[in-house]
Amino acid sequence: MIVAVSTSHPALYIFEGRRQVLICEIPLPPRTPALHVKFVPSNPDLLVVADRNKDMKVWEWRSRQVHKTFAKEHEKVVRAMEVFSTDGDEDRIVTMSSDQSIRIWIVDQQNTKSIASVLSNSLLTALIVIPSVRHDVTSHQ
């Protein structure tokens, strides 16, 4: 599956990769183009979308319905997003924003608020998540 985003006509376009065929178009509200789109690892029928208005939604792309909307906790636009499964098969979202924060969310939890956050003293420019690595983390100053 391939997902493409249009900013001139806000929509998500989902293609079947092998046949290179458009299989779904999800119109988005005007002036809210998607900035980041990721499939949910345990359920590829779900897409996580972060848009310019600081909204983050989980879409069931086959039905073109919003499955969940997360609370707007970032003060500025989301600059990076990763979605991964934990060892306990719990899907999580990590977002990094221009407001210098990183937040962690649970996809299937009823709560729409982040479960953890980190605030940086400097501008954050990149994000990578390696969920299978476990180690102690100490604060570096």
The amino acid at 108: D
The answer on pLDDT for 138 being more than 60 is: no
DSSP string covering 20-60: TEEEEEEE--TT--EEEEEEETTEEEEEEEEETTS-EEEEE
- In which band, very low, low, confident or very high, does the pLDDT at 141 lie, cut at 50, 70 and 90? very low
State how far Cα 96 lies from the chain centre.
Answer: 10
Of 141 and 111, the structure prediction assigns the larger pLDDT to 111
Confidence category of residue 132, pLDDT binned at 50, 70, 90: low
pTM score, whole prediction: 0.81
pLDDT the model gives residue 135: 45
What confidence score (pLDDT) does residue 29 get?
81
> What pLDDT is attached to residue 41?
86
pLDDT at 139 over 70: no
**Short-list 67, 40, 71, 68, CA closest to 55:** 71
List of domains in the chain: 2-119 (2.130.10.10)
